[in-house]
Chains A and B, each alone.
Chain A
Amino acid sequence: MSQALLQIENLKTVFENTKSAVTVVDDISFSMNKGETLALVGESGCGKSMTSLSIMGLLPGTGKVAQGKIMFEGNDLTKKSVEDISKIRGNKIAMIFQEPMTSLNPVLKIGDQMTEGLILHHKLSKKEAEARAIERLKLVGFARAKDMMNEYPHQLSGGMRQRVMIAMAMSTDPQLLIADEPTTALDVTIQAQVLELMRDVKAEFETSILLITHDLGVVAEMADRVVVMYAGKVVEEASVFDVFEKSSHPYTEGLLKSVPNLEADQTRLYSIRGNVPTPDEFPIGCRFAPRCDKAMDHCFDHAPDLYRVGDRHQVRCFLYHPEKGTFSHE
């Protein structure tokens, strides 16, 4: 365990108001090694972004971490002061978001945005900071990096902005890059450019990447390991090969079967019946039970734990319970 860069233990994130509390991330655990790309996948609202914002200490509104540890390089981030967290962020941990405009300041020139943190946190001189910024803009493929320093975000296309975000995130040589749907808003040809860039950056700097996405193609292409989330819970954790070849959770299986194939024709698409539940209506028992073709009576009033099915492969489903036989025919 000593080589884990990031280790999340039993993380629980809640939004509380005077009337009620909803748990949007419920008892999540996973770990990432140095240089590893871990994909967090699942459908909208399952808690992917809230998991990453919990790590970054950037939860919106009344959101807070109610329980659990976020161990980064041996320190528990949940115990850190606001100042310490903001130092780690934009330094050792960097984040890129789905919509780059939300994290780029529209009234600041690209150059000023890129050098600000370097001057403030890294104590670089203005000149050094500019040189670093230009170098990183070149790294992400901008031939005219120098001119771009004087441009504003609105002068760039979506793909260009996302590349600027990556350049900015990489300017501090972070150990961990959290990328929340970094290519979801981009066209496929631009997505291909950005994914290639992320792979290059990882190879060059040994950055670990926490990649949040709902696109299983992107997962297959980028990830070493995969964590599948459903309704605020981790339902499966495995290597990328095990997820695609030995997926064990009925939800993971269903998800993989639902995706139409680019390379072959199918007569009919598989579909998981019913709807994705929202946090105020998460079922008791197994949260997937109302949609699961393999559900047993037991599943509707008991919540499964994560059971080990292979090397670093865990599944939250009673089908893999060591004593499954004792309740499957209740």
Chain B
Amino acid sequence: MSNHLLEVKKLSKYFPIKGGLFKRKVGDVKAVDQVSFYVKKGETFGLVGESGCGKSTTGRTLLRLMEPTDGQILFNGVDLATLKGESLRKARRDLQMVFQDPYASLNPQMTVEQLIEEPLNIHNIGEKKDRQDRVLQIMDTVGLNKNFGGRYPHEFSGGQRQRIGIARALALQPKLIVADEPVSALDVSIQSQVVNLMEDLQQEFGLAYVFIAHDLSVVRHISDRVGVMYLGRMAEIAPKEELYTKPAHPYTQALLSAVPIPNPRLKRERIILKGDVPSPSNPPQGCAFHPRCPKAFDRCKVERPEMMHLGSEHYVACHLYD
């Protein structure tokens, strides 16, 4: 267990639904519902799934940018879910976040230098001079021209803005970065630049990543292990090679078969799922995937499947494997 940098146990995040005349709580959006996984030192854990399945909410809750409803977030053995005040602030230095839309997450009134220095100021690190040196060093590390430190975010292209976002996250020398769709908004040719940068930084600083994305090809490339979410729940977790070649969960199988492959001669068997993803405010009984699952049977409608161990590090939540 000692090499588990992060261990998430039965993490839940519910959002109340308010309604009626007195805005009373009438239900919950179960955005994240008893999710468990771990991340080892220096590895990349990919998190995939369709829009609204709870990837971002999981990421934000890990960093306590949102309060968890239930569950544990053990980071180096300390439960972040219960930390408060100064000890939470200290623990947070080791966990940083990179966002999908680098523009929306960067204050437009601050220069690049100020943006990268800000986390150092907040945590009172070093003298002014040291901080400025550090900023220049980080800019160099992420491939930003050091002469552009006085410029504002809007003066940069999408790919460069994402480099600024990454530089900010790196400033405090974290051990884990949660990257929420960091390349989704970028063009293909720029996307590969940023992916390569993230891999280089991981090598250099021994960083661990939780890499959230809906592009399964990018996730395959960057991850060591991958978790697949569906409707707030973890459906399957496996080392990437295993997940992509031997997906066990019917949802993972459908998801992978749906990805268009850039090879016009390839004719693949495709599992076309019926219908749309249901709303997490009213998830189906039993297995949340059962109304769309081509392999569903009676038990699936009434009983929620637990995570089962299939061997090595392969886990699946599906009654077929019970």
Contacts and interface: CB of A to CB of B under 8 A. Distances in A.
Give the one of B51, B157, B187, B277 with max A CB within 10 A: B187
Interface residues of B, number: 42
Given A215-B260, A220-B264, A259 B188 contact: yes
Given A159-B276, A188-B50, A188-B255, A271 B189 contact: yes
A269 B195 contact: yes
A265 B254 contact: no
Contacts of B273: 189, 192-193
A265 B266 CA distance: 18
B191 interface: yes
A326 interface: no
B287 to A, nearest CB: 16
B125 interface: no
B50 A270 contact: no
Interface stretch (A13-21, A250-258, A303-311): A250-258
B270 A192 contact: yes
Contacts of B29: none
A268 B272 contact: no
B262 A260 contact: no
Interface stretch (B5-13, B63-71, B133-141, B216-224): B216-224
A128 B221 CA distance: 53
Interface string A236-256: 000011001000000000111
Contacts of A270: 192
A158 B260 CA distance: 19
Interface residues of A, number: 46
Contact of A258 (B191, B254, B259, B261): B191
Given A255-B189, A260-B218, 9 more contacts: A44-B187, A157-B277, A192-B272, A196-B272, A220-B260, A258-B192, A262-B216, A262-B217, A263-B261
Interface of B: 50-51, 157, 159-160, 187-193, 195-196, 199, 214, 216-218, 220-221, 240-241, 244, 254-266, 270, 272-273, 276-277
13 contacts: A190-B276, A217-B261, A219-B262, A220-B261, A241-B265, A244-B263, A256-B262, A262-B261, A265-B220, A265-B240, A266-B221, A271-B196, A276-B189
